[in-house]
Amino acid sequence: MKIIMLGAPGAGKGTQAKRLADRLGIPHISTGDIFRANIKNGTDLGKKAKAFMDAGGLVPDSLTLELVMDRIGQEDCKDGYVFDGFPRTIPQAEALESALTAIGQKIDFAVDIDVPDENIVNRMGGRRACLQCGATYHLVYAAPKKEGVCDRCEGSLTLRDDDKPETVKKRLEVYHQQTQPLIDFYQSRDCLVRVDGTKDVEEVFLSILELLGV
């Protein structure tokens, strides 16, 4: 199954994409995580992406598309994948559609996780991420067992650079301008499903499973 998670920054795309990928036994592909790993490792791609990300903007489509197309060509993607944070612009969605059509494939579901802007800033301030393995937590809603330490790999948890309130505001603006139009795009492809992302993590997950029929 090929699935796209849509939603504002902090709507819970990563949280739900990881659960869904585990449940279905397919890879979770987060462009944000790929960029952050490249920044951490000091690669050329990381150096190019960092300035855009720190400013709350988007990394140019040309850089993003190449890495995604390469990723979905790998063996572990043959039975599907869950995209998290991609596509994020209409040109990215069109490029993905053309690439899949060329090999006789299509997206099965685009899942929009709906959370109003006013809930987002509060969520982002409480998010803590493990830079080592990418796991995410929340100080109130999904706290780690030991404060500041990742349950999975014991890495240290930090506030992402782009989770500061002024950057979150900019990311929300960019989301409304460039990413929200994808809701209509996937609606017109008859694969859009929508969930209320203000419910707790487990309830949102169960709603998604029901909508996907899995």
Where along the sequence are the contacts to ligand AP5 (CB under 6 A)? 7, 9-15, 30-32, 35, 52-53, 57-59, 64, 85-86, 88, 92, 123, 126-127, 136-138, 141-142, 162, 171, 197, 200-201, 204
Our CB check for ligand AP5 shows the closer of 104 and 166 to be 166
Residue (94 or 104) nearer to ligand AP5, CB: 94
Q: Are 120 and 102 in contact (CB under 8 A)?
A: no
Catalytic annotation, pick one of 50, 160, 170, 194: 160
**Side chain identity at residue 65, one-letter code:** L
Output the smallest distance, CB 108 to ligand AP5, in A: 19
Instruction: Establish whether 40 is a catalytic residue.
Output: no
Q: Write down the catalytic residue from 13, 19, 123, 128.
A: 13
Both structure tokens of 40: 């951490």
Task: Give least dist CB 171 to ligand AP5, A.
Answer: 5
**Which residue is catalytic, options 2, 19, 36, 88?**
88
**Is 13 among the residues known to form the active site?**
yes
Active site residue 127: yes
Could you give phi then psi for residue 63, rounded to 5 degrees?
-70, -40
Place of tokens 């990215």: 92
* CB of residue 80 to ligand AP5, shortest distance in Å: 18
Mark residue 74 as left, alpha or beta (left: phi above 0; alpha: psi -120 to 50; beta: remaining). Answer: beta
Cβ distance to ligand AP5 smaller for residue 104 or 202 = 202
Measure the CA–CA gap between 82 and 78, rounded to whole angstroms.
12
Is residue 123 among the annotated active site residues?
no
DSSP per-residue string spanning 107-118: --EEEEEE--HH
Residue 181, CA atoms < 13 Å, CB-side half-sphere: 11
**How far is the first Cα of the chain from the last one, in angstroms, to the nearest whole number?**
10
Catalogue the active-site residues. Answer: 13, 88, 127, 160, 171
